[in-house]
């Protein structure tokens, strides 16, 4: 995309954010500069802007959830927040808003399909939010995030029913670690039976069993969530089919 076409596309994105006239675009262009591009061309990447945007996004999301789900516990709000700000969801919104057309990538990264890479797109989304905050303040950033990201997601209880996903979000948010699953099979081809154990940082948190590896892991994750979340979180959705 040529320089002027790129700027037109960037201005179109800014109009979605309620910015009608913007001549100086450098802060927003920076939001799309990947490390690979910065290394090839010299200059800075969007890393610092991403760092800022991550915090702004977290603040906006927490505030929205606090207002919208006024009766829910801290534990469930934490799970909801993680489901909103995880890379997969951010990248999904970035694809919908055509961030891939704006991503500035190194030659190798672009050839490898980096413009559709989940991490690249999620980082660019966070950096763009950071640029909005720097240039126009929290309210503009909040309006954009809520309208084009948060309100586009499914916030029903069903959306939180996958126990493995919930456990992963909880473990990353509170324990800075990823759950590890180990399975054994003790059944027969006619009647398969799997047993799963899930650990975090080497500590066994849950066990489960089922007729497939997937259902055994879900059961183990559910058991782990019960051991991790406070007893007051009685409204926490439970996984089904385990």
CATH of span 159-228: 3.30.160.20
Distances (CA, A) of 115 to 84, 96, 98, 105, 217: 22, 13, 10, 8, 33
Gap between the Cα atoms of 70 and 210, Å rounded: 36
Gap between the Cα atoms of 101 and 79, Å rounded: 32
Q: What is the pTM of this model?
A: 0.69
What stretch(es) of the chain map to CATH 1.10.1520.10? 3-154
φ/ψ of 202, rounded to 5, equals 80, -5
Q: H/E element holding 138?
A: helix 138-148
Show the tokens assigned to 142: 């909040």
- Full strand arrangement of the beta sheet holding 194-200: 180-185, 194-200, 203-210
Residue-level pLDDT, tens digit, the chain, 242 residues? 668 899 999 999 999 999 887 777 889 999 999 999 999 988 899 999 999 999 999 999 999 999 999 998 887 888 788 888 888 889 999 999 999 999 999 999 989 888 888 889 999 999 999 999 999 999 999 999 999 999 999 887 666 657 888 788 788 888 889 999 999 998 777 778 899 999 999 999 999 988 888 888 988 988 898 888 653 343 444 333 33
**Catalytic sites, residue numbers:** 54, 126
Give the CATH superfamily of 3-154: Ribonuclease III domain (1.10.1520.10)
What stretch(es) of the chain map to CATH 3.30.160.20? 159-228
């Amino acid at each position: 995309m040529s320089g002027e076409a790129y700027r037109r596309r960037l201005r179109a994105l800014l109009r979605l954010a309620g910015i009608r006239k913007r001549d100086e675009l450098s802060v927003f262009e920076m939001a799309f500069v990947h490390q690979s591009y910065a290394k090839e061309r010299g200059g800075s990447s969007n890393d610092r802007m991403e760092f800022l945007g991550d915090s702004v996004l977290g603040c906006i999301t927490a505030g929205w959830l606090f207002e919208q789900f006024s009766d829910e516990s801290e534990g469930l709000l934490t799970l909801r927040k993680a489901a909103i700000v995880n890379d997969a969801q951010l990248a999904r919104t970035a694809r919908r808003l055509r961030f891939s057309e704006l991503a500035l990538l190194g030659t190798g990264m672009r050839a490898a399909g980096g413009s559709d890479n989940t991490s690249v797109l999620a980082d660019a989304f966070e950096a763009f939010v950071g640029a909005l905050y720097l240039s126009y303040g929290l309210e503009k950033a909040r309006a954009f995030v809520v309208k084009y990201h948060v309100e586009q997601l499914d916030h029903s209880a069903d959306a939180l029913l996958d126990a493995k996903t919930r456990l992963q979000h909880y473990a990353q948010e509170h324990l800075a670690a990823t759950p590890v699953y180990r399975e054994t099979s003790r059944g027969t081809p006619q009647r398969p039976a799997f047993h799963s154990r899930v650990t975090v940082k080497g500590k066994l948190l849950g066990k489960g069993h089922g007729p497939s590896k997937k259902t055994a892991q879900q059961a183990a994750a559910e058991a782990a969530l019960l051991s991790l979340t406070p007893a007051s979180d009685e409204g926490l959705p439970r996984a089904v089919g385990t």
